[in-house]
Amino acid sequence: MTRHVRNVGGLETRLARSCLKATLMRHIRSFAQKEDGAIMAFGLIIFMLMLMSGGMAIDLMRREAARVVLQNTVDRAVLAAADLDQLEDAENVVNGYFDSAGLREHLIDVTVDEGLNYRIVGAQTEAEIEMMFLNMVGIETMVAPAASTAEERIQNVEISLVVDISGSMGGSRITNLKNAADEFVDTVISASPPSGDDFTGVTSLSIVPYQGMVNIGDDLGGQFNLGNNHNYSQCVVFDYDDYLQTDITTTQALNRMAHFEDSSSSSSPITNPNCAVNDDEAIIAYSISRADLKEKVNNLTAGGWTAIDVGLKWGVALLDPAARPAINGLETAGVVHEELRNRPADYSDNETLKVVVLMTDGDNTNQYDLKDQFKTGYSNVWWHEEDDRYSVYTPAWNDYWYPHSPQHYHNSPYGGTTDSRRLTHAELFARYSERHIADYFFRTPDYNNQYQDYRNAVTRIVNGSEADRRTRALCGEARDNGIVIFAIGFEAPTGGQNLMRDCASTPSHYFDVDGVEISEAFSAIARTINQLRLTQ
């Protein structure tokens, strides 16, 4: 008899699984239908994303903080090491900075390039920062790099200091200017001028004082082709076109200003000519002598009108290569140091920095000269030297009038044509002012003709607005040639401030100062010229 045994256990297992599956599906459908489960899942996802984002921000901030510390340290280190006054080994200086900061392990490389007149120091650093949160996405570390290069190069620096000594500069202003300029000289000019091979990279300074005109002085004047109408003073009258270029060549014919005085009726020989003859007010060109430059500064006096354009013209011209024959001539004459021969350098010379420091306390004013008919030729005044007597020829009457007592008309000059001589206009105006010449010599004998001519012998050649236009034009030309222009408005009116601001190389090259602040401006300019430069 065969028995059939049922697999009851297997059946029960299948039934249990079927029930479990049905129960699970029922719970899944229930879970899918409930909103609180969906919100919980979404909130969990958002929380994880926020946690990751916040952690990433913290890791990045830690990296940036480390980089800033490294960058500040490397900047300070290379600046100190590149200083040419630094006697320690440049690499040791950099290492010392990182040792002091406890960051030596992060210093990768130090490079030093130096020569007679320059030192360039570079350094590279990096720190490996362990990530606290980004490691969850596989980023274990990040690198914080920092690098810097500093250079100090004693360039050949050519400076023209163009200073206002017009009448409005009197009193405390000229005193403050002298103090500021004196400190400027101390800062930019070496106390002991080098020589020979050590001369590379020396600063030369020209001082150009200006008032209504610029007295270029006998030394410098002798190097240029000034008109031969007289040799009493050394001032030049420029046309507008001259301000469209930076050069004054030694061969071009220059229009010498007449030597005259128009502000006095005194019978004494003129003492305040429009073109000054005092050496203290003359240009000093390409000097490296502190003593000479400081003496020039301390002897400055205030007086006269204001011709910013003319002062700037000479200041710029002394930086232009066209002035080289003049400077070489001064070197031959022993006026300029022998090592300065062949200056000014070419504009293309990358080892030479050309700087103008232009300062004024006012506006451009009118400029005056004698009319052309009185700048050359002979006057109708005769002079008997032995008796110091004058005679005035009157063409309308063909006779001579003696202005001295007793006053008479005669057929010949006092003492005759043999003992008296006819004065040139240059001689006459060099002796007496325009007003005195007209009143003393011509009012009585020829009032309607010669008196009126001589009384109006002085003419305005440039007004203030035209001088402003010339100044701005020349500033543009100078900047285009790479000349750096610092401009100072010293207690100046609005017009003068605007002109200085327009002339400056950049807004940061302009200084608006009052009182003793002028010393701060000069000091800032001197520091800028001498400063270290971060090049990366």
**pLDDT tens sequence across 278-317:** 889 999 999 999 999 999 999 999 999 999 999 999 999 9
Q: How far apart are the first and last CA of the chain?
A: 106
pLDDT band at 59 (very low <50, low <70, confident <90, very high): confident
CB within 8 Å of 146: residues ≥ 6 apart: 67, 70, 71, 73, 74, 124, 125, 126
312 contacts 474 by C-beta, under 8 angstroms: yes
Q: Say yes or no to pLDDT of 11 above 50.
A: no
487's enclosing H/E stretch is strand 484-490
pLDDT by residue (tens digit) across 451-470? Answer: 999 999 999 999 999 999 99
Give the contacts of 68 (CB within 8 A, at least 6 positions apart). none
Better-predicted residue by pLDDT, 531 or 163: 163
User: What token pair was written down for 437?
Assistant: 């010449």
Tell me what pLDDT residue 135 has.
73
CATH of 156-369+461-534 given 3.40.50.300, 3.40.50.410, 3.40.50.1400, 1.10.3720.10 = 3.40.50.410
Q: Which two tokens stand for residue 386?
A: 């032995």
Q: What is the pLDDT of residue 5?
A: 38
| Structure confidence at residue 406 as a pLDDT band (50, 70, 90) | confident
**What size, in residues, is the chain?**
536
Q: How confident is the model at residue 3 (pLDDT cuts 50, 70, 90)?
A: very low
For the residues 112-126, what does the mean pLDDT come to? 82
**With 80 as the cut, is the pLDDT of residue 10 above it?**
no
Given a cut of 50, whether residue 6 has pLDDT beyond it is no
Check pLDDT > 90 for residue 30: no
φ/ψ of 284, rounded to 5, equals -115, 120
Q: How far apart are CA 124 and CA 147, in angstroms?
A: 4
Q: Which residue has the tokens 């003793």?
A: 516
Q: Which residue has the higher pLDDT, 317 or 186?
A: 317
Q: What is the pLDDT of residues 467-487, one digit of tens each?
A: 999 999 999 999 999 999 999
Here the tokens at position 512 are 């608006």
Assign 212 a pLDDT band (cuts: 50, 70, 90). Answer: very high
For the chain, percent helix, then strand, then coil, each to nearest 5?
45, 20, 35
Confidence label for 527 from pLDDT (cuts 50, 70 and 90): confident
| Cβ density class 264-300: b for 16+ within 10 Å, e for less | eeeeeebeebbbbbeeebbbbbbbbbbeebbebbeeb
pLDDT of 12 > 90? The answer is no
Residues 6 or more apart whose Cβ sits within 8 Å of residue 66: 127, 129, 144
In this prediction, residues 111-127 reach a mean pLDDT of 83
| pLDDT band at residue 66 under the 50/70/90 scheme | confident
* b/e per residue 449-483 (b: at least 16 CB within 10 A): ebbeebbebbeebbebebbbebbbbbbebbbebeb
pLDDT at 454: 95
Q: Give the Cα separation of 101 and 90 in Å (integer).
A: 17
Task: Compute the average pLDDT of residues 26-48.
Answer: 58
Domain ranges of the chain: 36-153, 156-369+461-534, 372-456
CA 198 – CA 192 distance, rounded (Å): 11
Q: What is the pLDDT of residue 50?
A: 61
Burial 117-130 (b: 16+ CB within 10 A, else e): bbbbbbbbbbbebe
Average confidence (pLDDT) over 241-265: 93
The whole-number pLDDT of residue 354 equals 94
Query: 254-271 pLDDT, tens per residue?
Result: 999 999 998 776 667 788
The encoded tokens of residue 320 equal 């232009």
Mean pLDDT of 396-406: 91
Mean pLDDT, the chain, rounded, equals 87
Q: What is the pLDDT of residues 130-152, one digit of tens each?
A: 877 667 777 878 888 999 999 87
What's the pLDDT band for 57 if we cut at 50, 70, 90? Answer: confident
| Cα gap 123→107, rounded to integer Å | 8
pLDDT, position 49: 59
- Sheet with 107-114: list strands edge to edge: 107-114, 118-130, 141-153, 533-534
CA 209, distance to chain mean position in Å, is: 16
Model confidence at 41, in pLDDT bands (50, 70, 90)?
Answer: low
List pLDDT tens digits, range 487-518.
999 999 999 999 999 999 999 999 999 999 99
Percentage of the chain surpassing pLDDT 70? 84
